[in-house]
């Protein structure tokens, strides 16, 4: 149909018509809220580059979990920011480590809430890389050995979902085998399948204390210029037994989310990362953007691109905005 017989504006005339033809519905069910857990008690340390976000001690993490539950947010993802680091990141598989303790406490207080644990090493290594360094690069297979230990320790602590994030080859199959052997065949894996070597993780590096001492992550995270390769990574992870597929970051990679959505029938998650959050907050602070509209438009765009789930620091404020309608 052509103009003037067809006029697309007819269906935009009133709010009820617009509601009736709206294609993408953003709901709180899609949100996963990230938390950074630090040692101590009754401690909250605001993260300068992420206004509104803080590093929190285990007891405060429980309070955050309760707040999320009250808002209807179904899930949290936890990152540990320990004061003990070594060359291989062995604190990551300490059964009494920060995220393990936080998981036990949160599951006790909020059994229905889903706790996702990021299985990686960069918060736990002195050099800030995501595994065991050999000759200046992360050694894939040595890192897998340790990753299995992390996944098991996290599952033992009661994690509902394990999310390996280091982009090691074969990491999904490896975690699946380890979990199954350990009696955790019921614990799903959320694979950071297409994770790019992105500058948009900048603020996270402050939040999680993971600034690299040397080098870069381009030998394991993906080149931002590559799209087909994302499909290859996703296909491999699905074949190895991933239960969820993740694309990260989200906003500069909406095309990748859309392609991945077409390619797999697994739930797709997208990580609306720290730098995306920081950009929006900075512009809103200067009065350059309408904050609330920018939050909802951003999250809706990620959903429209094809993500079922969104890991986002906006989760709590977006839940409040959606409630207001």
Of 195, 281, 303, 316, the catalytic one is 195
Decide if residue 273 touches ligand PBG (CB under 6 A).
Answer: yes
Integer CA distances (angstroms), 55 to 22, 85, 89, 198, 298, in order: 37, 17, 20, 22, 24
To ligand PBG, the closest distance from the beta carbon of 54 in angstroms equals 14
Cβ-closest position to ligand PBG: 204
Task: Taking each helix axis as running N to C, give the angle between helix 58-71 and helix 98-109, from 0 to 180 degrees, rounded to the nearest 10.
Answer: 40
Q: How many residues bind ligand PBG (CB under 6 A)?
A: 8
Q: Which is nearer to ligand PBG, 108 or 218 (CB)?
A: 218
3-class secondary structure, 41:
coil
Given 60, 91, 122, 233, the residue binding ligand PBG (CB under 6 A): 122
Find the distance separating the first CA and the last CA of the chain, reported in whole Å.
34
Q: Which is nearer to ligand PBG, 275 or 306 (CB)?
A: 275
Based on C-alpha coordinates, what's the Rg of the chain? 20
* Structure tokens given for 158: 């009661």
Identify whether 248 is a catalytic site residue.
yes
Given 61, 71, 75, 120, the residue binding ligand PBG (CB under 6 A): 120
Cβ–Cβ < 8 Å for 226, 236: no
| Interface region with ligand PBG, contact rule CB under 6 A, candidates 16-24, 100-108, 115-123, 150-158 | 115-123
- How many beta carbons lie within 10 A of that of residue 101, not counting itself? 18
Decide if residue 118 touches ligand PBG (CB under 6 A).
Answer: yes
To ligand PBG, the closest distance from the beta carbon of 17 in angstroms equals 38
Given 165, 178, 193, 312, the residue binding ligand PBG (CB under 6 A): 165
To ligand PBG, the closest distance from the beta carbon of 96 in angstroms equals 20
Cβ–Cβ < 8 Å for 179, 151: yes
Q: Which is nearer to ligand PBG, 60 or 118 (CB)?
A: 118
Cβ–Cβ < 8 Å for 168, 143: yes
Q: Which is nearer to ligand PBG, 60 or 122 (CB)?
A: 122
Decide if residue 204 touches ligand PBG (CB under 6 A).
Answer: yes
- How many beta carbons lie within 10 A of that of residue 324, not counting itself? 6
User: Residue 168 phi/psi, 5° resolution?
Assistant: -80, 145
How many Å separate Cα 197 from the centre of its chain? 15
Identify whether 281 is a catalytic site residue.
no
Q: Which residues bind ligand PBG (CB under 6 A)?
A: 118, 120, 122, 165, 201, 204, 273-274
Q: Which residues are catalytic?
A: 195, 248
């Amino acid at each position: 149909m052509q103009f003037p017989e067809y006029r697309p504006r007819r269906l935009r005339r009133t709010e009820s018509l617009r509601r009736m033809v709206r294609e993408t519905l953003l709901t709180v069910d899609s949100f996963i809220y990230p938390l950074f857990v630090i040692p101590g008690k009754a401690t909250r340390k605001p993260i300068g580059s992420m206004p509104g976000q803080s590093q929190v001690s285990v007891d405060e993490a429980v309070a955050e979990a309760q707040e999320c539950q009250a808002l209807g947010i179904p899930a949290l993802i936890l990152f540990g920011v320990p004061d003990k680091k070594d060359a291989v990141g062995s604190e990551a598989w300490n059964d009494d480590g920060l995220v393990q303790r936080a998981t036990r406490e949160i599951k006790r207080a909020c059994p229905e809430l889903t706790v996702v644990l990021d299985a990686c090493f960069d918060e736990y290594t002195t050099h800030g890389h995501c595994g065991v360094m050999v000759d200046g690069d992360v050694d894939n297979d040595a890192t897998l050995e340790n990753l299995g230990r992390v996944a098991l320790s996290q599952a033992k602590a009661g994690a509902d979902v394990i999310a390996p994030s280091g982009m090691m080859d074969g990491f999904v199959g490896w975690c699946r085998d380890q979990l199954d052997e350990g009696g955790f065949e019921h614990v799903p894996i959320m694979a950071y399948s297409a994770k790019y070597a992105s500058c948009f993780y900048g603020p996270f590096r402050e939040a999680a204390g993971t600034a690299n001492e040397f080098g870069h992550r381009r030998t394991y995270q993906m080149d931002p210029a590559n799209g087909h390769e994302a499909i290859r990574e996703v296909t491999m992870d699905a074949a190895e037994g991933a239960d969820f597929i993740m694309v990260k970051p989200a906003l500069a990679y909406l095309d990748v989310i859309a392609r991945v959505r077409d390619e797999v029938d697994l739930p797709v998650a997208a990580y609306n990362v720290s730098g995306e959050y920081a950009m929006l907050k900075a512009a809103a602070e200067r009065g350059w953007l309408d904050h609330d509209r920018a939050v909802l438009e951003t999250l809706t765009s990620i959903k429209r691109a094809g993500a079922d789930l969104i890991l986002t620091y906006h989760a709590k404020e977006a839940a409040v905005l959606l409630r207001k309608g």
